[in-house]
Structure 1
Amino acid sequence: MRIDEAAEAYLRHLEQVRRLSPATVRAYRSDLAGLHAACGDSELADIDLEALRDWLWQAVQRGDSRATIARRTAAVRGFFAWATETEAVDADPSLRLVSPKRGKTLPKVATAETLDELLTAMAEAAAAGDPGALRDHAVLELLYGAAVRVSELCGLDIDDLDPDRRTVRVLGKGAKERVVPFGLPALRAVEAYLVRGRPVLAARAVEPGGTTASALFLGARGGRLGPRAVYDLVSRRLGPELGAQVGPHALRHSAATHLLDGGADLRAVQEILGHASLGTTQIYTHVSSERLTASYRLAHPRA
């Protein structure tokens, strides 16, 4: 079996059997496409440890980050573990492949004051009634208020909202569903968008009443709002405040950190974020302690 044929079979396995998220499958597809490009139309059984090491070395030479190389290592290990299990190959050449340690980088977090000023300014802009401004305000309020991922936000339907309980039902990684709360400012922003913004955007749809009819957030042409548009929005609005290229995850990071700063229980934050492991959530305790240390050094006369 050629490597490209095996890769397609493996990706189908990830989608249909393991039911991984579309974003995860896309990442695996990209990594395996890179392996295919490096090895050519080789037979899967002809790929050995040296070929895999050479592929990763090319990534190092290109200047790819440790996190990217570690992800590619994990992708190829999963691929060959599956190939060995299905007897596509006799032995797994990736067993001795060493993954680089990821650098310990803390997520970028905006202060509560910064976000309050930003969201207040967006609320004032939305008050004029522009449908795009109403939507953008609701998007940022919900990203921060519910600490959801951008893929979860873009996948929301109107029926996923429960205004009375102020909760939203989201479909997270691994097709796991959870219900998360959000605050009154987010509710007001979303309701204003639903009444005055969404109907205008829906009227622009090429196929009114089509597959995006139930989508909560719509783009300029009436289709379901995509992650790229949300990335652009957050980068444009929050990037200048943080002095860096940031995406929607910065609002999720900020929400988690502010919850812990405010005394929320770590396991409650884990449930809100939808993390499978408590260890993933614990990074925000480090962010909080870093902020505490920075405040101490600025404020204490004997620091």
Structure 2
Amino acid sequence: MQSDLCLADGMPLIWLAKLLRIPIRERIAGSDLFGRLKSANAAGSRLRVFLLGGAEGLAAAVGAKLNAERSGLECVGELNPGFGTIEEMSSPDIIDQINASGADLIAVFFGAEKAQAWLLRNHWQLRPPIRAQFGATINFEAGTVRRAPPMLRSTGFEWLWRIKEEPYLWRRYWSDGKALLALLATSVLPLMLSARGLRSLQELSIVRREDHASVTIALVGAAVATHADGAIEQLRDALDSDKRLIIDVSNTQYIDARFFGLFLMVRKQLAGRGQELLFTGATARLRRIFRLNRFEFLLSPEV
């Protein structure tokens, strides 16, 4: 939840978004992003990147290639910390080496779970402003593994190619497939059913109450994308007050993905100054909406 941007890396995410009418139109894998950064206009300043991870020698080879090509990326450091624990790969020497590089971007090439854990653990110690997990991109860039043809990527069958190239990955995709089906059954389909009556939920009133210690924003009606602009203005003003921020949802009929995104951004802004986003008045029905969207953690604590 420390990210400003999360990529939709996977065609199943695009399919689920379409089912839920969330406007995500294109899959962007980490390797796609890395390629676009490489192909950016290098006539001006280049994005300085630190390459972290990958098999022995790969980061050095890819870094040398980036600098030789005069691409949109300039490698200012690389390190393979081995296959230790998160704690071992978060030593002061490693963090100091990354920070001293002057990088704009840390490109992490661990497995997804380990990369996420490493980035979260070291979030406040790292100086480079952009950090991202690029996974197997290091292998594609080094040429040790071939990426799937564009047709397979666009149709959602890149996983079959990956298994052909790296047979051990079948366990990962088997686990991912089961998790996807569980998500479809327990969250996506119930959300689709709960959203059937949205056409009758047209209005949203935003009521602001303020005292010496807090600002309360009451959402009365349907907190859906068409009303997001007005909510953004009110939330921005509330943040500028530097007071405790409370969202009153006691009369909120529905909350969609756009508003959950707003809540996450507000929560991050508040966390940066040691405050929490507080909710009050959540009904049982609305708590179910939070739970189905996997945002139930936002409701704790409640005032």
TM-score class normalised by the smaller sequence: under 0.3
Query: Please, what TM-score do these two structures have when normalized by structure 2?
Result: 0.26
Return the structure number with greater strand share. Answer: 2
Query: Please, what TM-score do these two structures have when normalized by structure 1?
Result: 0.26
